[in-house]
Amino acid sequence: MTDLLAARSQMGMSLGFHIIFAVLGIGMPLLMVVAERRWLRTGDPIYLDLAKRWAKGTAILFAVGAVSGTVLSFELGLLWPGFMRFAGAIIGMPFSLEGFAFFTEAIFLGVYLYGWDRVTPRAHLWAGVLVALSGMLSAVFVVIANAWMNAPRGFALVNGQAVNVDPLAAMANAAAFSETLHMVIAAYAATGLGVAGIHALLLRRDPLNAFHRRALRCALIVGVPAAILQPFSGDISARFVADNQPAKLAAMEALFTTTRGAPLMLGGIPDVEARRSRWAIELPHGLSLLARHELNAEITGLDRIPRDQWPHVPTVHFAFQLMVALGTIMALVGLWAGWLAWRRVPFEARPRFLLAAALAAPMGFIAIEAGWTVTEVGRQPWVIYHVLRTADAVTPMPGLVVPFVGFTLLYIGLAAIVVWLLYRQILKSPTAAERPAPVTGTGAAAPARG
């Protein structure tokens, strides 16, 4: 393994680990707010128990996400000094704003966790809202920095150096809206349907369990709208890629030849040497329609891209196909849930729906990992698109395979600990004796209605 590949692998592994906690950090606070709001409206103590359990899970995920995010920030400087030397002054503002959002989230998460009997119910609910909002904004600012890497602007390039830096213009880059929209919706879809799937599985074993019934409904409130909207945000992202990153789009669809009225590829195995995709199902004019909204629009193939600027086509193609397939299934599950809710059919009365929801539980997280693979591998060989190559940004320090292996083992152990903690704090269903009874006290007394 070369040092460049080791550095890329370590960064990819760290990002792949951290992004799960970042996604849950966006979605879980909204779940606890939904549960608390329902408790305030109904007085049902099960909703209060859900809010408290999900708050504990949010705290665990916040702590681990903070640690893994800190590691990523150090890796940017240690593994990619060329990138930070060039881009530090440009992307410093979104990272600084992310820091403000992070500290805001930490402050109000503390209020939420320890303020149940110390602030009014309404103030406590608003503390949860601010946790959810700041967690979402934290992700938005980080994604804006990544979007700049895909569509760099806000500076002038003189003798290989960035001058006349305009951080606000850099943040307002062409990829910012599509990337942040796609990422935030994906986070809500993955978290909502992920939590819903767990409780759906448990409801198949115990359909009368009120705890899981209420948890399933709260999770679907978050996950279903996001899963249905995600294909539309994906369309916006695809159109940006078509306009600004033709090599990435060509790799996503394994399109080796520039084509007017290009077909949409379903499946297939790219043969880079033969410059064709084998065993793919082609939908005539589909790619032109989706990318340009015109049946006969011309789509640039890899034949117009210099060979040394091709991304790794099989990786990008397979990751894109996986992301789209899983996103489509999640949208269908969301539509099914919406149809049952519109007809007022109890979810627990439909075992097949519960099975579908359970099978969809991990799909959002897998799709997010695949989507980030498309974003990052599809930009190669550039770390800053058409400005700085990845090979020119890596550290000259040798032996990078050693920290890669070390951090991989560390993350595997940390993931096992987190899963065990989440099971203990959230998923372990209360018995009848453990189910919460109506409580009294300043913050948890008969809740303020409305």
- Phi, psi for residue 340 in degrees, rounded to 5: -65, -40
Do 175 and 147 form a contact (C-beta atoms < 8 A)? yes
Q: How many whole angstroms separate alpha carbon 255 and alpha carbon 244?
A: 16
Q: What local confidence, expressed as pLDDT, does residue 428 receive? A: 60
Distance of CA 11 to the CA centre of its chain: 17
Q: Which residues contact 379 (CB under 8 A, 6 or more apart)?
A: 149, 150, 245, 248, 311, 385
From first to last of its 450 residues, what are the pLDDT tens digits of the chain?
A: 788 999 999 999 889 988 998 999 899 999 999 999 999 999 999 999 999 999 988 998 888 888 888 888 888 888 999 999 999 999 999 999 999 999 999 999 999 999 998 999 999 999 999 999 999 999 999 999 999 999 999 999 898 888 899 999 999 999 999 999 999 999 999 999 999 999 999 999 888 899 999 999 999 999 999 999 999 999 999 999 999 999 999 999 999 999 999 999 888 899 898 888 888 888 999 999 988 888 999 999 999 999 999 999 999 999 999 999 999 999 999 999 999 999 999 998 899 999 999 999 999 999 999 999 999 999 999 999 999 999 999 998 888 888 888 888 888 888 888 888 777 766 564 543 344 444 433 344 444 433
Q: What local confidence, expressed as pLDDT, does residue 66 receive? A: 85
Do 337 and 360 form a contact (C-beta atoms < 8 A)? no
Q: How many whole angstroms separate alpha carbon 266 and alpha carbon 269?
A: 10
Q: Of the candidates 241, 190, 245, which has an alpha carbon nearest to the alpha carbon of residue 219?
A: 190
Query: How far is residue 396 from each of residues 86, 120, 239, measured CA to CA in Å?
Result: 16, 56, 37
